[in-house]
């Protein structure tokens, strides 16, 4: 399990990284390496074989977390562990903080980055799921300049995202919910804790003073080629008091959205049933937290 | 049994394991740590097809790749070497290290590339062009009995390798007089021990001295003999270094095919050649899978729960190349009825071959699946009769006063107090509180269950069971040896003759030698002789080292001690019977001032022949080569009865689990185990093996499976797909010891290396089924994956709603 | 492809090497720098046998190319005791508790335990289990490893521990 040959440069700026990517010849694959926690195993198995690795570790300003004007901006190179421990994430993006605890193990979070997980686009991964749930904005740079992609539409098919081969993700911006009492819930099932989720569910709710739900975000991972929002469920629950009955009724809308598959660890039927179970629990967790 | 009773100075006492020091310092010496000048590296070309004809192999591009020295194919290797050893009498099943003409499983090695580095070797391996004609594969276990299943070894004529029927005791009579019968099926999934270190080997041929040096991560009997057979060179031209630290094995480190590849290449190329499996090589092509077994069982029992007899059919899918794997149907005959008082048993053992990776011996050599089969049946009888599972076991367990107890297959269990261990374990688990906890959890809407398994760990080995499956194997010894020296300064060195893969043999020998000689164990050096200097050994399999090596150590030490007493008596001018020895001093009984110190005797022995008793050889060096204690050394009788393993350790397992009914996820929240392996030599080592084996068993019960799809494609080739339990999945285990010494060993010790693995799968299955009992679900297929459990719950709830 | 010259601090010592970009850090440590205490178990980032400290943080050295470590600081198991065959207190606790059998995962476990105690001097049992959950051990069932880390913490905090 040794990677095929490649060349390597360490970029000192995003612009330099983008230039390196843009110089790729026809049919040539050049890849950014950030934490490498997903890319390097694929290279070791020779399932990925870039000709050039562009290392963005150490580019000034690419790692870090800022909270400004109701948005938490996380630099693409921010380590998952740093995000998990960040006071800003904990206080303003509690859903992400909860989700990060399920990402791999402490050692992979020490090295793995928020941006790397987003760009890798695993349909069961936690960070993409939260990005979709919270309508994050994802900013990428190329030699042609910067562009912002909404999380909705960013994840295309398994391991394929809107980031083009010559682009470098630079930042993920998560809007912070400020109105009302906020609660979050994150649930997932995996054969072992720390594995990629078989199914993951994320929910965030806002309740007004009398407990009526004014806003709800609900999303599922592991049940479609990409993380999916359950918009019909969100619509159905907005304006309710999130009674158990209402939640259970709204969960019926999950089926129309998901396209689960069989794999080694679970059947499609399992994923379909468990998606509803876990999303129901995540919403209840969020509700109870908001009410607490 | 020692005449000194249980008042040991070092044995059974808390002492640090001496091996640990090098490991914590990062100074272990594993196969991959050993480098010799000029060493070359092997990478493998593996078949992507479960079954295919090899039309041609073109290595020309690979040979042009930088740093490449050779590309070896099965055609060349099979022409130059003899087939590898098969345990069964199947002359038309030929096993070579590289596929010859046909590939028989996905991942089978087709060619080996030698290059200056593993990187370059992998580059070239990609350039080897193999033209395959894919063929349909033989996969599903029961279909392998059919004469029209795709033939894995066409020359053999069928996919059934052996089918033997045994009947011990009055089976039909016992069935006729029993009030009830119960038939069930139990399925043990394909898993293995999967050590964190893969297999690795380095071979170097010295053409001048005509010696093949081998450093390997090996745990296998007769390793050098198998190398010699394959290469056609004398056994005494092979030197295996037994001081290589082996990074876990639990039975599977048997890389004979890897060794033959490197040894052949080393001789051919005149270069040292190393093959270290990477994880993908190991999982798919390393031929290190374990039992894959389907049991069909009928039990005969009375309304009071007395189980009288069992009829059992076991089909074991050994994969494409059987090796020693199928013999794992034979060892469990040693404890085929478990710790219970059955008076008869009928056993049909069937070994089948399939287009899957080959099977090797796994921890317990077939006993863990067998224990799972037995315990599943005992739980089902309890459920059928409405008798408490603990109570049912009490009614059937052999009682302490009944030992030695002879089971129908002819083996005598040496000693035990099964009820005492069960009671201790129930106390440890705080069973009444555990029941209250389970019931409270159930009341709160959870699925919660308590498991129970009471089972045996046969220890000591005895290859004669092989003869029951293959009459041509008449091996009636299974020896182990210890050589001990006291040098002229009085320092003690003990020599063992095999490798260690975590069992703490150096600590074992030092502790026992220290006990026997009343010397500080830390002052005793223990070395691993290489195979040319070694005494006879059959390697540390079969939970046998405490039993056989431990007894050999005692015997060698006792010979040293006797000789020193003899020398002391001569020099003190008294009869030997008047000399006492205590902690380094030999003195005349009742006259402590008339004494000689240990070092003085050592000096006399080595240098002062004139002070030795007449007829005494100089120096202090003794050895012991031991047959399995208590073995008859005979072949089975006409009824196929025979004493197999000598010692029987006992375990009672009580886990507590909760299952999330929405996801099927099992959490093992508590685990109590009581175990009796006779006299414990080192408590920390025994505890480690018990708990570690138990964790391995939790893996087999819930997570681990070498899965194949219906076409025979291998699905679990990485650690992302084959799931070893982490610290999240294993609870903090509570354990309690009990000691019923064995009458057959030097200090009363029994085996413990197979440890908790022999009971944990059964116990976890029992706990899951207890949790599912309120839904009237009973599962008997391992591993119990979360999606299977959830599906069973869903199905039952749907039934109930309808 | 050409080799790259790199310089990194390993166990407090500046080491230089010329490496192909594809060489992993663990291969550099083991094959070029002779530090075979760091082991390889899976080479795809699951087992944790190759754990090291990179700039003081526990990471898997099979998932880092040696060129990425240029200019950084690495600590391996050989560096935990301060050199010269000395062993540190966590290593001593592992020995005391027999927190190993075959010793193959041990260096990675020591790195994981070391990193935990740096960050959290008084971990609970659950926190210890979480901290070593990315390191697979096939021998021990983890119980004695958890006990060893707890013992080291207790000793550092002036408690007897056992």
Report the share of chain B in percent with pLDDT over 70.
99
CA A166/CA B257 separation, integer angstroms? 47
State the smallest CA–CA distance between residue B121 and chain C in angstroms: 14
Q: Is the Cβ–Cβ distance between B421 and B652 less than 8 Å?
A: yes
Contact B24 C44 (CB under 8 A): no
Cα atoms in the 13 Å half-sphere on the side-chain side of B490: 16
Give yes or no for residue B698 having a pLDDT over 90. yes
Residue B51 burial (C-beta neighbours within 10 Å; 0-12, 13-18, 19+): buried
Encode pLDDT of B462-493 as tens digits. Answer: 889 999 999 999 999 999 999 999 999 999 99
Handedness of CA A35, A39, A42, A46 (dihedral sign): negative
CATH class of A181-291: alpha beta
| H-run or E-run covering C9 | strand C4-10
Interface test with C, best of A20, A105, A112 (most C CBs within 10 A): A105
Residue B133 burial (C-beta neighbours within 10 Å; 0-12, 13-18, 19+): exposed
Torsion of CA B436, B437, B442, B448, to 10 degrees: -120
Encode pLDDT of B228-275 as tens digits. Answer: 999 999 999 999 999 999 999 999 999 999 999 999 999 999 999 999
- Of the candidates C59, C67, C135, the beta carbon closest to that of A8 is on C67
Give yes or no for residue B726 having a pLDDT over 70. yes
Q: Between B and C, how many residue pairs show a Cβ–Cβ distance under 8 A?
A: 182
Residue of chain A whose alpha carbon sits nearest to that of C40:
A1
Average confidence (pLDDT) over B420-444:
98
Q: Give the list of residues 6+ apart from residue B429 with CB closer than 8 angstroms, or none.
A: B654, B656, B670, B672, B734
pLDDT of residue B3: 39
Spatial strand order in the sheet of B238-240: B68-73, B109-115, B40-46, B273-276, B200-206, B211-216, B238-240
Q: How confident is the model at residue B2 (pLDDT cuts 50, 70, 90)?
A: very low
CA C139/CA C102 separation, integer angstroms? 7
B485, β-bridge pairs: B493, B621
Average confidence (pLDDT) over C111-134:
97
Chain C contact residues (CB < 8 Å to A): 1-2, 4, 20-22, 24, 43-45, 48, 51, 54, 57-60, 62-65, 67-68, 70, 112, 115, 130-131, 133-135
Per DSSP bridges, beta strands B781-782 and C13-19 are unpaired
Q: Closest Cα to residue B197, out of B240, B246, B157?
A: B246
CA B353/CA B318 separation, integer angstroms? 5
pTM comes to 0.97
Contact A53 C65 (CB under 8 A): yes
Contact C91 B25 (CB under 8 A): yes
Cα atoms in the 13 Å half-sphere on the side-chain side of B657: 32
Per DSSP bridges, beta strands B200-206 and B273-276 are antiparallel
Contact C60 A107 (CB under 8 A): yes
CATH number of A7-55: 3.30.43.10
- Chain A, 44-83: which have a CB under 8 Å from a chain B CB? 45-46
Interface test with B, best of C40, C102, C116 (most B CBs within 10 A): C102
Chain B contact present for A1, CB below 8 A: yes
State the smallest CA–CA distance between residue B379 and chain A in angstroms: 26
Residue of chain B whose alpha carbon sits nearest to that of A190:
B665
Q: How confident is the model at residue C161 (pLDDT cuts 50, 70, 90)?
A: low
CB B260: neighbour CB atoms within 10 A? Answer: 25
Contact B123 A4 (CB under 8 A): yes
Q: Which residues on C lie below 8 Å from B728 (Cβ)?
A: 129-130, 133
Average confidence (pLDDT) over B678-695:
98
Gyration radius (Cα) of chain B, Å: 28
Give yes or no for residue B560 having a pLDDT over 50. yes
Residues of chain A with pLDDT under 70: none
- Of the candidates C23, C78, C102, the beta carbon closest to that of B502 is on C102
Interface test with B, best of A273, A278, A284 (most B CBs within 10 A): A273
State the smallest CA–CA distance between residue C71 and chain B in angstroms: 24
Contact C100 B279 (CB under 8 A): no
Q: Which residues on C lie below 8 Å from A104 (Cβ)?
A: 134
Per DSSP bridges, beta strands C73-75 and C4-10 are parallel
Chain C contact present for B131, CB below 8 A: no
Interface test with C, best of B505, B701, B726, B754 (most C CBs within 10 A): B726
Chain B contact present for C120, CB below 8 A: no
- Of the candidates C95, C97, C102, the beta carbon closest to that of B21 is on C95
CB A14: neighbour CB atoms within 10 A? Answer: 22
Contact A191 B703 (CB under 8 A): yes
The domain locations on chain A are 7-55, 65-175, 181-291
Q: How confident is the model at residue B6 (pLDDT cuts 50, 70, 90)?
A: low
Average confidence (pLDDT) over B703-722:
97
- Chain B, 659-698: which have a CB under 8 Å from a chain C CB? 684-685, 687-689, 691-696
Chain B contact present for A135, CB below 8 A: no
Q: Is the Cβ–Cβ distance between A130 and A96 less than 8 Å?
A: yes
CB B118: neighbour CB atoms within 10 A? Answer: 22
Average confidence (pLDDT) over B688-702:
98
- Chain C, 15-54: which have a CB under 8 Å from a chain B CB? 20, 22-23, 30-31, 35-44, 46-47, 49
Q: Is the Cβ–Cβ distance between B68 and B454 less than 8 Å?
A: no
CA B459/CA B744 separation, integer angstroms? 11
Which letter does DSSP use for residue B708 in this model? Answer: B
Encode pLDDT of B187-197 as tens digits. Answer: 999 999 999 99
Task: Determine the 3-state secondary structure of C54 from DSSP.
Answer: strand
CATH superfamily of C4-79: Beta-grasp domain (3.10.20.30)
CATH class of A65-175: alpha beta
Which letter does DSSP use for residue B653 in this model? Answer: E
State the smallest CA–CA distance between residue A42 and chain B in angstroms: 12
Q: Which residues on C lie below 8 Å from A33 (Cβ)?
A: 65, 68
H-type helices in B323-479, by residue range?
367-385, 389-396, 418-429, 431-443, 465-469
In chain C, list all ranges with CATH 3.10.20.30: 4-79
The token pair at B404 is 């030695």
Average pLDDT, chain B: 97
Average confidence (pLDDT) over B438-451:
97
Handedness of CA B744, B748, B749, B750 (dihedral sign): positive
Residue of chain A whose alpha carbon sits nearest to that of C109:
A107
Contact C102 B720 (CB under 8 A): no
- Of the candidates B22, B27, B30, the beta carbon closest to that of C104 is on B30
Interface test with A, best of C5, C21, C25, C61 (most A CBs within 10 A): C21
Contact C59 A110 (CB under 8 A): yes
Residue for token pair 């003794």: B622
Of 1.50.10.10, 1.10.150.120, 3.40.50.80, 3.10.20.30, the CATH number of C89-156 is 1.10.150.120
Q: Which residues on C lie below 8 Å from A41 (Cβ)?
A: 43-45, 63
- Of the candidates B196, B278, B718, the beta carbon closest to that of C104 is on B196
Contact B728 A1 (CB under 8 A): no
Contact B787 A189 (CB under 8 A): no
Which domains are delineated in chain B?
A: 33-135+197-247+254-285 (3.90.1170.50), 364-458+644-801 (3.30.365.10), 479-626 (3.30.365.10)
pLDDT of residue B5: 47
Give yes or no for residue B4 having a pLDDT over 60. no
CA B677/CA B749 separation, integer angstroms? 6
Q: Is the Cβ–Cβ distance between B651 and B674 less than 8 Å?
A: yes
C-alpha B734 chain-centroid distance: 23
Chain B contact present for A192, CB below 8 A: yes
ipTM exceeding 0.95? yes
Encode pLDDT of B193-211 as tens digits. Answer: 999 999 999 999 999 999 9
Average confidence (pLDDT) over B87-113:
97
State the smallest CA–CA distance between residue A64 and chain B in angstroms: 30
SS3 for B242-290, per residue?
CCCECCCCCCCCCCHHHHHHHHHHHHHHCCCEEEECCHHHHHHHCCCEC
């Amino acid at each position: 399990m040794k990677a095929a040959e490649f060349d390597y440069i360490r970029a000192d700026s995003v612009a330099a990284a983008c230039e390196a990517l843009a110089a790729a010849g026809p049919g040539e694959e050049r890849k950014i390496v950030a934490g490498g926690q997903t890319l390097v195993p694929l290279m070791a198995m020779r399932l990925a074989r870039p000709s050039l690795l562009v290392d963005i570790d150490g580019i000034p300003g690419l790692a870090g977390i800022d909270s400004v004007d109701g948005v938490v901006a996380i630099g693409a190179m921010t380590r998952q562990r740093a995000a998990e421990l960040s006071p800003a994430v904990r206080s303003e993006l509690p859903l992400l903080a909860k989700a990060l605890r399920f990402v791999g193990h402490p050692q992979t979070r020490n090295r793995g980055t928020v941006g790397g997980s987003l760009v890798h686009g695993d349909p069961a991964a936690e960070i993409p799921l939260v990005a979709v749930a919270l309508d994050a904005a994802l900013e990428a740079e190329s030699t042609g300049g910067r562009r912002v992609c909404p999380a909705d539409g960013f994840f295309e098919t398994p391991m394929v995202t809107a980031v083009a081969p010559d682009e470098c993700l630079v930042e993920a911006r998560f809007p912070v919910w400020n109105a009302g009492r906020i609660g979050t819930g994150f649930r997932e099932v995996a054969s072992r804790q720390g594995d990629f989720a078989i199914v993951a569910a994320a929910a965030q709710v806002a309740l007004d003073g009398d407990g009526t739900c004014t806003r709800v975000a609900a999303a599922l991972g592991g049940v479609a080629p990409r993380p999916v929002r359950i918009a019909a469920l969100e619509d159905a629950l907005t304006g309710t008091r999130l009674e158990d009955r209402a939640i259970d009724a709204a969960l019926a809308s999950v089926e129309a959205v998901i396209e689960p598959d069989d794999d080694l660890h679970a059947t499609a039927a399992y994923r379909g049933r468990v998606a509803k179970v876990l999303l129901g629990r995540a919403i209840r967790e969020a509700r109870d937290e908001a009410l607490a | 049994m020692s005449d000194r009773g249980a008042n040991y100075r070092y044995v059974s006492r808390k002492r640090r394991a001496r091996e640990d020091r090098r490991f914590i310092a990062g100074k272990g010496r594993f196969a991959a740590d050993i480098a010799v000048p000029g060493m070359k590296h092997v990478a493998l070309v593996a078949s992507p097809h479960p079954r295919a004809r090899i039309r041609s192999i073109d290595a020309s591009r690979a040979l042009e790749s930088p740093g490449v020295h050779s590309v070896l194919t099965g055609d060349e290797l099979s022409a130059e070497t003899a087939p590898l050893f098969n345990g069964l009498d199947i002359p038309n099943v030929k096993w070579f290290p590289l596929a010859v003409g046909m590939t028989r499983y996905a991942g089978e090695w087709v060619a080996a590339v030698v290059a200056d580095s593993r990187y370059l070797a992998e580059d070239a391996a990609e350039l080897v062009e193999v033209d395959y004609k894919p063929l349909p594969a033989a996969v599903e276990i029961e279909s392998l009995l059919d004469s029209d299943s795709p033939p894995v070894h066409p020359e053999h004529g069928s996919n059934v390798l052996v089918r033997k029927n045994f009947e011990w005791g009055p089976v039909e009579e016992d069935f006729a007089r029993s009030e009830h019968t119960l038939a069930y099926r139990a399925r043990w999934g394909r898993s293995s021990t999967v050590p964190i270190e893969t297999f690795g080997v380095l071979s170097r041929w010295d053409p001048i001295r005509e010696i093949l040096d081998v450093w390997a991560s090996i745990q296998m009997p007769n390793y050098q003999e198998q190398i010699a057979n394959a290469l056609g060179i004398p056994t005494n031209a092979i030197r295996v270094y037994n001081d290589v630290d082996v990074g876990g094995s639990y039975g599977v480190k048997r890389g004979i095919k890897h060794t033959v590849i490197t040894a052949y290449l080393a001789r051919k190329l005149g270069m040292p050649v190393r093959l270290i499996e990477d994880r993908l090589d190991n999982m798919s092509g390393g031929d290190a899978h374990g039992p894959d077994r389907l049991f069909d069982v009928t039990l005969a029992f009375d309304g009071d729960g007395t189980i009288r007899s069992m009829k059992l059919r076991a089909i074991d899918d050994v994969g494409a190349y059987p090796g020693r794997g199928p013999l794992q149907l034979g060892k469990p005959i040693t404890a085929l009825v478990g710790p219970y008082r059955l008076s008869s048993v009928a056993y049909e053992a069937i070994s089948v071959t399939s287009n899957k990776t080959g099977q090797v011996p796994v921890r317990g050599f077939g006993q863990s699946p067998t224990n799972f089969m037995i315990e599943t049946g005992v739980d089902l009888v309890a459920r059928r009769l409405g008798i408490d599972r603990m109570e049912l076991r009490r009614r059937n367990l052999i009682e302490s006063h009944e030992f030695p107890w002879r089971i129908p297959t002819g083996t005598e269990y040496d000693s035990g107090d099964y009820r005492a261990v069960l009671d201790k374990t129930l106390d440890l688990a705080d069973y009444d509180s555990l029941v209250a906890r389970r019931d409270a959890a159930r009341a709160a809407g959870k699925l919660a269950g308590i498991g129970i398994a009471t089972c045996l760990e046969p220890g000591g080995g005895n290859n004669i069971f092989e003869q029951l499956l293959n009459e041509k194997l008449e091996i009636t010894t299974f020896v182990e040896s210890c050589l001990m020296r006291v040098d002229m300064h009085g320092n003690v060195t003990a020599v063992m003759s095999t490798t260690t893969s975590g069992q703490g043999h150096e600590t074992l020998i030092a502790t026992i030698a220290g006990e026997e000689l009343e010397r500080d164990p830390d002052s005793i050096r223990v070395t691993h002789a290489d195979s040319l200097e070694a005494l006879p050994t059959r390697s540390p399999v079969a939970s046998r080292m405490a039993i056989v090596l431990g007894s050999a150590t005692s015997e060698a030490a006792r010979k040293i001690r006797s000789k020193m007493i003899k020398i002391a008596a001569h020099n003190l001018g008294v009869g030997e019977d008047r000399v006492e020895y205590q902690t380094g001093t030999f003195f005349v009984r009742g006259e402590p001032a008339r004494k000689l110190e240990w070092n003085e005797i050592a000096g006399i022995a080595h240098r002062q022949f004139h002070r030795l008793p007449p007829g005494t050889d100089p120096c202090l060096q003794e050895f012991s080569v031991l047959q399995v204690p208590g073995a008859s050394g005979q072949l089975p009788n006409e009824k196929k009865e025979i004493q197999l393993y000598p010692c029987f350790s006992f375990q009672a397992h009580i886990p507590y689990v909760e299952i999330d009914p929405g996801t099927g996820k099992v959490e093992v929240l508590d685990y109590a185990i009581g175990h009796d392996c006779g006299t414990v030599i080192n408590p920390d080592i025994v505890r480690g093996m018990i708990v570690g084996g138990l964790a391995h068993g939790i893996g087999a019960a819930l997570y681990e499976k070498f899965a194949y799809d219906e076409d025979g494609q291998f699905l679990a080739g990485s650690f992302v797909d084959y799931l070893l339990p982490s610290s999240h999945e294993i609870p903090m285990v509570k354990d309690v010891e009990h000691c019923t010494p064995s009458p057959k060993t030097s200090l009363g010790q029994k085996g413990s290396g197979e440890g908790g693995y022999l009971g944990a799968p059964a116990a976890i299955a029992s706990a899951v089924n207890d949790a599912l009992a309120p839904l009237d679900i009973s599962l008997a297929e391992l591993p119990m994956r979360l999606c299977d459990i959830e599906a069973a719950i869903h199905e039952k709830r749907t039934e109930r709603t309808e | 492809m050409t080799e790259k010259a790199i310089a990194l601090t390993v166990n407090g010592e500046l080491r230089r090497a010329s490496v192909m970009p594809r060489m992993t850090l663990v291969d550099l440590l083991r094959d070029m720098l002779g530090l075979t205490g760091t082991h390889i178990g899976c080479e795809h980032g699951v087992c944790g046998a190759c754990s090291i400290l990179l700039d003081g943080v526990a990471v898997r050295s099979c998932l880092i190319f040696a060129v990425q470590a240029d200019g950084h600081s690495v600590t391996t198991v050989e560096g935990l005791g301060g050199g010269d065959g000395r062993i540190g207190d966590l290593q001593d606790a592992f020995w005391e508790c027999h927190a190993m059998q075959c010793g193959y995962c041990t260096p990675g476990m020591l790195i994981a335990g070391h990193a935990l105690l740096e960050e959290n001097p008084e971990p609970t049992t659950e926190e210890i289990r979480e901290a070593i959950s990315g390191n697979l051990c096939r021998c021990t069932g983890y119980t004695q490893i958890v006990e060893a880390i707890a013992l080291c913490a207790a000793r550092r905090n002036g408690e007897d521990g056992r």
